[in-house]
Structure 1
Amino acid sequence: MTARRTAALLLLLAVLTSCGQEGERAARSVPAPSRTPTAAASADATDSAWVQLMIPMNEQAMFLLDLAAERSTVPRLRSWAARLRGAQTTELLSLRELRDRMGLPDTDVHEGHDMPGMVTADDLESAREAEGAAFDRLVVALIRDHLRRSEQVSRSETTAGGRADARARARKLVTARGEQLAALTALCAGRAADVP
């Protein structure tokens, strides 16, 4: 139990200390209905911190994936980005359902914070301004960071979380991230001249 509490504290510390500079966040691309938390469901601090971080991480990444699917100079990268965007949309719906079962509000507690692995408004602006190979390199770097960071935080939830359904969702996310990172690595390695 002590190891679990230590892991939970480390996860919370990582989430809370990674809140960085204030910044304007882009609007959400997948609208969620407004809801009132229910008193029946409950979540411990680790579960709450995890789900409330994963939702905005996915929301922000989808803006970048939209750009990649439309503007990449590499057809395989465009296709991969479109598939990943679909997977993240499905994941986001599951995370929101979990949040609702946990009785958490649908507000973004990280709004205005630049979290590690989160695509920021500045990142999106840089991507919009970039062209050609520079755009592809930027997209690959940002999405790789998003996938790695969300995998790391989700792995912590699998061992430190208090709710079985949250840990199960986190395990699925860890598995998905491993597959997505492997696919991105293979894409980049197989088309080294096209995708840095």
Structure 2
Amino acid sequence: MRRLALGAAVVALSVGGCATTGPTPAPGPATAAFNPTDVAWLQLVVPMTSNALAAARLAPERAGSAAVREAANAVVAPSQRLLTRLESVRDRAGLPAADVHSGHRMPGMVTPADLAALRTDTGPEFDRRLIALLRANAAQVVVLARGEQTSGAEPETRELAGELGTEGARQTEVLPKTA
């Protein structure tokens, strides 16, 4: 029963936290091995990881401090590796590559508006914004990973959630508390 409730919480986090601006496209047909928690988790963490990675990649040219550049650099390689795997599992699940959460405001999601602001910021303002976004993303990834590990059904997806959760926890340690 607890497992079902946590699965419902993951689904609720993935859609209930959205400020919907229009109809959400229906997912493609997922294979039987993927339950609704797996599907919701993949549809959420793929764009979360992709957008956080895009934000971190801006640091070499825009950050004001070497510590922020170094911390962002420590996020890039593991996030790229995990994103590649997440996209592969999403594709295997038969889910669309489109971001079904585009335009939604959710905890930990680096939005297109956030990325646009980062692209205009430099120095201390960039550093402050980037670190806040990456820390929020990492913390939310840890929460979502726990939900997938508890309530997901597909073994590779659950394993990947464990790795993503571990990486999120590592990022909360390597990212400065403030910039």
Bin of the TM-score, shorter chain as denominator length? 0.7 to 0.9
**1:10 maps to what in 2?**
9
The question of whether the paired residues in 2 share the 8 Å contact of 1:50 and 1:157 is answered with: yes
**1:147 maps to what in 2?**
138
Q: Partner amino acid for 2:58?
A: L
**1:67 maps to what in 2?**
58
Query: Structure 1 pair 119/40, CA: closer, same or farther in 2 (3 Å)?
Result: closer
The question of whether the paired residues in 2 share the 8 Å contact of 1:43 and 1:103 is answered with: no
SS where residue 175 of structure 2 aligns? helix
The question of whether the paired residues in 1 share the 8 Å contact of 2:49 and 2:83 is answered with: yes
Query: Structure 1 pair 40/148, CA: closer, same or farther in 2 (3 Å)?
Result: closer
Identity of aligned residues (%): 34
| Greater Rg over alpha carbons, structure | 1
- Aligned partners of 1:57 and 1:40: how far apart in 2? 23
**2:73 maps to what in 1?**
82
The question of whether the paired residues in 1 share the 8 Å contact of 2:19 and 2:105 is answered with: yes
The question of whether the paired residues in 1 share the 8 Å contact of 2:135 and 2:171 is answered with: no
Q: Partner amino acid for 2:39?
A: S
**2:110 maps to what in 1?**
119
Alignment of 1:36-185 (within 5 A): 42-185=33-176
The question of whether the paired residues in 2 share the 8 Å contact of 1:46 and 1:161 is answered with: yes
Choose 174-183 or 125-134, whichever is displaced more. Answer: 125-134
The question of whether the paired residues in 1 share the 8 Å contact of 2:33 and 2:153 is answered with: no
How far is the alpha carbon of 1:39 from its aligned partner? 7.0
- Aligned partners of 1:57 and 1:155: how far apart in 2? 16
Please, what TM-score do these two structures have when normalized by structure 2?
0.88
Q: Deviations over 1:87-106 (max 9, x none)?
A: 11111100011112222232
**2:25 maps to what in 1?**
none
How far is the alpha carbon of 1:146 from its aligned partner? 0.8
Query: Structure 1 pair 65/39, CA: closer, same or farther in 2 (3 Å)?
Result: closer
- Count residues in correspondence: 174
- Aligned partners of 1:54 and 1:149: how far apart in 2? 10
How far is the alpha carbon of 1:127 from its aligned partner? 1.8
SS where residue 124 of structure 1 aligns? helix
Choose 125-134 or 164-173, whichever is displaced more. Answer: 125-134
How far is the alpha carbon of 1:114 from its aligned partner? 2.0
- Aligned partners of 1:43 and 1:146: how far apart in 2? 24
Structure 1: 5+ residue stretches without partners: 24-36, 189-194
